[in-house]
Structure 1
Amino acid sequence: MLDTPSNRPALPAEIARRRTFAIISHPDAGKTTLTEKFLLFGGAIQMAGQVRAKGEARRTRSDFMAMEKDRGISVSASAMSFDFMNKGTNFRFNLVDTPGHSDFSEDTYRTLTAVDAAVMVIDGAKGVESQTQKLFEVCRMRDLPILTFCNKMDRESRDVFEIIDEIQENLAIDVTPASWPIGVGRDFIGCYDILRDRLELMDRADRNKVSASIAIEGLDDPKLAEHVPAALLEKLREDLEMVRELMPPLDAELMAEGSLTPIWFGSAINSFGVKELMDGIATYGPEPQIQSAQPRNILPEETKVSGFVFKVQANMDPKHRDRVAFVRLASGHFTRGMKLTHVRSKKVMSVTNPVMFLAADRELAEEAWAGDIIGIPNHGQLRIGDTLTEGEAIRVSGIPSFAPELLQGVRAGDPMKSKHLEKALMQFAEEGAAKVFKPAIGSGFVVGVVGQLQFEVLASRIELEYGLPVRFEQSQFTSARWVNGDRQAVDKFTEANKQHIALDHDGDVVYLTRLQWDIDRVDRDYPDVRLTATKEMMV
């Protein structure tokens, strides 16, 4: 939610120029393509799909895992930082690329705790799809401002008014067009920039080229007729007359509250409409915001550094068995080599090798400010939900963990490698890629995920990163719940239900079951114990 205190001083310039946001969409709406074009216009890459090389040619995409390449979906949230010039100000964009598959929604949820706004990508032919709706609801829970990009306008798409109506009805948010498409499909030639009275023309011949932009003196300007065919121009004038009569103007305050979303139209694959969207993020996107924490909230302008871990990624570099914690800085000015307190363990750690990310590439971060996302390489000390400060015992709140919807047993192809399997599973559990439960009875593990694809991803990664073929198999359990209550009540419950009890990778007690009847029985017979489908990762 956006800051509200009116008596706060202006943010320091370095913090005020930060824009930290995520992209949300249904699979195949064009999120990864849009991400690449952001990097292109931010100067981070020379052509979409290829990062500016440093000494050697490097493959680069925001989707950098082998399985992501094969399937064409994003399954791990990458954080990318790059600069973008707008109206004389050099903005720092911190883009968090969320998983684009519904099976990875928990990772996406955690990612959205680390950003100040979201860009919602919609396919012009399909409108609001199921995954978009789910992700939008998460944004709404966090009161995140949303900017919308309607993609693929160069293909056959639905009526624009119909798309806007669907967004308003399905998502219960007001929509105001920031641009308006001229033609659709093969007849699509560009957009009218409503905010700046400009004609933006698409170049189909060069997909990496910024569109031609022509200043227009209103819809009666004769220059329009020089570039827009008569039939399309007549329809444009009719449409914009209706827009001005029926739709609200862009109100920055309403957008900040999350009750109004501006919408841009374009074609990410043709680089069209992307720069206008980026201008919108710079102009209307929020600065770094107040962070919810206990026992007090954290203000971005505080001089002391604080931050929290929202993601852990193992084995980002296949050549090194490493683990990187993605940390969103909530306040202060961080410099490399700083000593920070790990609040959960109360230990002080020197952050000597922090990194910033560009897709699969990383470079040392000499400094960072509130709003930035840095990576801290570590050997397992940092977990999702951890808070780092310059000494104060503050704990960032609101990072959830959800009970899995699918449970399976797992076996190593080589029974002699069970210790290796345990190490791999624990590493992925700390990443948040899966839930791993160790039953109180028996020697195996039960792995829990949100969707079937995650089992395939885990099997693929365990084999690729640990050289260990594994197979997942049916489990006797179908659901898991965390056990809450005072110590004595939980111990008594655990002793009486050992065949259902397991520990998660944090050592918290979990109740595994096959039937809803079992959960109802616990509620009835053990009033001092609560079974919950979520736990907050605030440590």
Structure 2
Amino acid sequence: MALDVFTDLNKVRNIGIMAHIDAGKTTTTERILFYTGINHKIGETHDGASTMDWMAQEQERGITITSAATTCFWKDNQINIIDTPGHVDFTVEVERSLRVLDGAVAVFDGKEGVEPQSETVWRQADKYDVPRICFVNKMDKMGADFYFTVQTIIDRLGARPLVVQLPIGAESDFLGVVDLLEMKAYVWPGDAKGDVTMGSSYEVQDIPADLVEKAEQYRAELVEAVAEASEELMEKYLEEGELTIPEIKAGIRQLVISGEAFPVLCGSAFKNRGVQPMLDAVIEYLPSPLDVPDVVGSNPSNEEEKLTRKASAEEPFAALAFKVAAHPFYGQLTYTRVYSGTAAQGQQVLNSTKGKKERIGKLFQMHSNKENPVEEITAGHIYAAIGLKDTTTGDTLCDPAHPIVLESMTFPDPVIFVAIEPKTKGDQEKMSTAIQKLSAEDPTFTVSLNEETGQTEIGGMGELHLDIIVDRMKREFKVEANVGKPQ
């Protein structure tokens, strides 16, 4: 089964889950992992047990700080998911994830609609032309309003939503969704607390009588919007006034991949309702590595010369290191998105950004913070490697015989600084190791010497960002330090 996925890139989706803090992004990811069979027990964020939030600080604070990458399977397709943080201090994580994704699921809070950080993340996704589907979550929450949320997607994001589902009920009476393509109701049985089967089974029923008229109206609008995707669809629609389900799906897919429109689905991840149809939509509408434009780079010896690489194992190897993370046993894990070609354990590759040769140590496919070893890495997938000593975020790794430098990522400058002093001489050494490792992981974390005071200053994207860094120095590197007030 897995081998098929390596050769058939049509069956691969590299996606991010993006949202405002507290829209339920991590819970949604946890549910995806549960339904795709990776997690047998669902990790609840408010229990501090969630799989994707694996750093101690994340589990205590119940927020996602670093993007964990994880791989799962749904109906013979492989989905590589990057969970991105919703907190504004961790913009760098979102920025670097979006750079290596082919598509994303934007999660919205069904009561709040589009919030400020949803806008920030949406604009970042626009910058990298990432196709998206929208999941209106928390439909079980007091005051949840699907139609209001859809309107905020239009008003605040200036985006064109394609409503493909309607909610059945809301708040504590939220039972399921109406599928506007099949014109059927999907109802998750069970009491308000969620049912025994954790929502893994749903019933297909007729649309409730009070929703039939609304469903027909929304379906007509959907078909009309889809007809505009191509001339053929428009001709057929004008002649027959209707399109078949496969035609509607193909039209939606076309509009999504071109970035013209965004399907909107709804559910309650916490109450286990609506997650499986959302996974179906990821497969149906989001692009595979073959659907996105070939990656562009330049020749390291002549920057003017543009080079491209197709998403194919036959092409020369090219990959982008999009995240470096300190690992308790292996020293350093380098997360890479492979755009073309293949590379094996022990192979020598060129870091064309720095002009240095690197040897790949072990290779893994990641499941949150567990590593599954693999012998070889291939185009279209996301992996972690160890043994890359000089590679930092944004560097290109490639075949030494066919050098290419891929476009890197742009990171904002720090906005807040604090003075930091080690308590003892022993702490001094530990602190310099910690700073070196943590700044390799996070390009928005900087260190400088304040010439006037002679103190070491660390800079970051906000107070929470620097709190977490100081906390990690203590926990992971055992550094005791005095920290000044933010400047």
Normalised-by-shorter TM-score class: 0.7 to 0.9
Q: Contact (CA 8 Å) 2:144, 2:171: kept in 1 or not?
A: no
1:170-181, aligned counterparts within 5 Å? Answer: 170-181=156-167
**Partner of residue 395, structure 1:** 405
Check 1:100–1:160 CA distance in 2 against 1; reply closer, same or farther (3 A cut). closer
State the aligned residue count: 436
Q: Contact (CA 8 Å) 2:180, 2:219: kept in 1 or not?
A: no
Q: TM-score, normalised by structure 1?
A: 0.76
Q: Contact (CA 8 Å) 2:109, 2:136: kept in 1 or not?
A: yes
RMSD of the alignment, in Å? 2.2
**Partner of residue 292, structure 1:** 296
**Partner of residue 442, structure 2:** 432
Residue 243 (structure 2) pairs with residue 244 (structure 1): no
Q: Distance in 2 between matches of 1:310 and 1:147?
A: 23
2:43 to 33, 42, 49: 49
Residue 471 (structure 2) pairs with residue 460 (structure 1): yes
Q: Distance in 2 between matches of 1:185 and 1:314?
A: 42
Q: Distance in 2 between matches of 1:352 and 1:325?
A: 11
Using the TM superposition, give the Cα deviation of residue 238 of structure 1 relative to its aligned residue in structure 2, in angstroms: 3.0
Check 1:367–1:12 CA distance in 2 against 1; reply closer, same or farther (3 A cut). closer
Q: Contact (CA 8 Å) 1:266, 1:273: kept in 2 or not?
A: yes
Residue 430 (structure 2) pairs with residue 420 (structure 1): yes
Q: Distance in 1 between matches of 2:377 and 2:270?
A: 32
**Partner of residue 129, structure 1:** 115
Check 1:134–1:361 CA distance in 2 against 1; reply closer, same or farther (3 A cut). same
Please, which moves more after superposition, 64-73 or 351-360? 351-360
Using the TM superposition, give the Cα deviation of residue 201 of structure 1 relative to its aligned residue in structure 2, in angstroms: 0.7
Aligned to 1:401, the other structure's residue is in SS state coil
Check 1:273–1:368 CA distance in 2 against 1; reply closer, same or farther (3 A cut). farther
Q: Distance in 1 between matches of 2:481 and 2:213?
A: 61
Q: Contact (CA 8 Å) 2:31, 2:275: kept in 1 or not?
A: yes
1:207-356, aligned counterparts within 5 Å? Answer: 208-214=198-204, 223-224=206-207, 228=208, 233-234=209-210, 236-247=211-222, 248-249=225-226, 251-288=252-289, 289=292, 290-294=294-298, 295-301=306-312, 302-315=314-327, 317=328, 320=329, 322-356=331-365
Q: Distance in 1 between matches of 2:450 and 2:368?
A: 41
Aligned to 2:295, the other structure's residue is in SS state coil
Q: Contact (CA 8 Å) 2:6, 2:378: kept in 1 or not?
A: no
Asked which structure has the greater CA Rg, the reply is 1
Using the TM superposition, give the Cα deviation of residue 466 of structure 1 relative to its aligned residue in structure 2, in angstroms: 1.1
Check 1:471–1:305 CA distance in 2 against 1; reply closer, same or farther (3 A cut). same
Q: Contact (CA 8 Å) 2:108, 2:114: kept in 1 or not?
A: yes
2:369 to 360, 364, 369: 360
Using the TM superposition, give the Cα deviation of residue 46 of structure 1 relative to its aligned residue in structure 2, in angstroms: 1.1
Aligned to 1:195, the other structure's residue is in SS state coil
Residue 59 (structure 2) pairs with residue 65 (structure 1): no
Aligned to 2:308, the other structure's residue is in SS state coil
Check 1:260–1:12 CA distance in 2 against 1; reply closer, same or farther (3 A cut). same
Q: Distance in 2 between matches of 1:182 and 1:282?
A: 24
Q: Contact (CA 8 Å) 1:198, 1:213: kept in 2 or not?
A: no
Gaps of 5+ in 1: 1-10, 51-58, 217-222, 479-539
Check 1:14–1:352 CA distance in 2 against 1; reply closer, same or farther (3 A cut). farther
Q: Distance in 1 between matches of 2:256 and 2:23?
A: 23
Gaps of 5+ in 2: 227-250, 299-305
Please, which moves more after superposition, 281-290 or 332-341? 332-341
Check 1:430–1:185 CA distance in 2 against 1; reply closer, same or farther (3 A cut). same
Check 1:171–1:49 CA distance in 2 against 1; reply closer, same or farther (3 A cut). same
Identity over aligned pairs, percent: 24
Check 1:321–1:440 CA distance in 2 against 1; reply closer, same or farther (3 A cut). farther
Q: Distance in 2 between matches of 1:202 and 1:167?
A: 27
Q: Contact (CA 8 Å) 1:459, 1:469: kept in 2 or not?
A: no
Using the TM superposition, give the Cα deviation of residue 443 of structure 1 relative to its aligned residue in structure 2, in angstroms: 4.9
Q: For residue 213 of structure 2, what is the amino acid of its counterpart?
A: E
1:445-456, aligned counterparts within 5 Å? Answer: 445-456=456-467
Q: Distance in 1 between matches of 2:309 and 2:391?
A: 20
| CA offset digits 1:53-91 (Å, max 9, x no partner) | xxxxxx761000111000000001100012211xxxx11
Aligned to 2:309, the other structure's residue is in SS state coil
Check 1:335–1:293 CA distance in 2 against 1; reply closer, same or farther (3 A cut). same
Aligned to 1:329, the other structure's residue is in SS state strand
1:107-186, aligned counterparts within 5 Å? Answer: 107-186=93-172
**Partner of residue 382, structure 1:** 391
Residue 50 (structure 2) pairs with residue 38 (structure 1): no
